Amino acid sequence: MASTTTCTRFTDEYQLFEELGKGAFSVVRRCMKIPTGQEYAAKIINTKKLSARDHQKLEREARICRLLKHPNIVRLHDSISEEGFHYLVFDLVTGGELFEDIVAREYYSEADASHCIQQILESVNHCHLNGIVHLPATRWRPRALCMDPTAPHSGHSQPVPHVPSVSSTNHLRYHC
């Protein structure tokens, strides 16, 4: 179960390793929970660079990610806020992008493509069942989908979309 934002120091609970990705306000690094040895991906947000609106979006992302528990959605395990930084600890997915998998193959069968689309649609359905609307649909492109090498299908990996999004109660309350 994902914990709420804690007062714990991130470095008391986790050890950081190499960078996995980078954005305008954040960096993603592999990390390990010290007591258990379990590996995760830590999204480290420099909150000093965020506007008040961006802070609200960050809190909304964490709140929404806590709601989503589905095998095809990257799961939030922890959220730690410190002076100047906010850490979101997600599942570590090491299989690369779906796009890379498509390019690496000479042939992508209809069955494999159908299986990927089915997983994406199941993920979107799970979001909708939890009152979450993911906008825009273009975020579901192959470069935005991670492959989970631990979940083979016909010898291939499954896409695991990460879908922080917006909340809805029978109507759209927020937009991305």
Q: Between 25 and 54, whose confidence is greater?
A: 54
Nearest one of 16, 63, 59 to 41, comparing CA atoms:
16
Rounded Cα–Cα distance for residues 98 and 139 (Å): 13
Which tokens belong to 163? Answer: 């879908």
Q: Could you tell me the pTM of the whole model?
A: 0.79
Q: What is the pLDDT of residue 108?
A: 82
In the predicted model, what is the mean pLDDT of residues 55-82?
A: 88
Band of pLDDT at residue 138, cut at 50, 70 and 90: low
| Residue 26 near residue 43, CB atoms below 8 Å | yes
Residue 7 has pLDDT above 90, yes or no: no
Residue 61 has pLDDT above 80, yes or no: yes
CA distances from 142 to 37, 82, 161 (A): 31, 33, 10
Which tokens belong to 45? Answer: 């947000």
Rounded Cα–Cα distance for residues 156 and 149 (Å): 8
Residue 3 has pLDDT above 50, yes or no: no
Query: What contacts 77, CB < 8 A, 6 or more positions away?
Result: 2, 3, 40, 89, 90, 91
Q: What is the pLDDT of residue 14?
A: 98
Band of pLDDT at residue 140, cut at 50, 70 and 90: low
Rounded Cα–Cα distance for residues 30 and 21 (Å): 10
How many alpha carbons lie under 13 Å from residue 73 in its C-beta half-sphere? 23
CB atoms under 10 Å from CB of 45, counted, come to: 21
State the chain's mean pLDDT as an integer: 79
In the predicted model, what is the mean pLDDT of residues 63-75?
A: 86
Tell me: is residue 43 an annotated ligand-binding position: yes
What domains appear along the chain, each with residue ranges and CATH number? 7-175 (3.30.200.20)
Task: Give how far the C-alpha of residue 127 lies from the chain's centroid of Cα atoms, to the nearest Å.
Answer: 13
Rounded Cα–Cα distance for residues 28 and 6 (Å): 19
Q: Between 23 and 51, whose confidence is greater?
A: 51
**φ and ψ of 55, to 5 deg:** -60, -40
**Segment 154-174, tens digit of pLDDT:** 444 444 544 444 443 333 222
Q: Between 166 and 101, whose confidence is greater?
A: 101
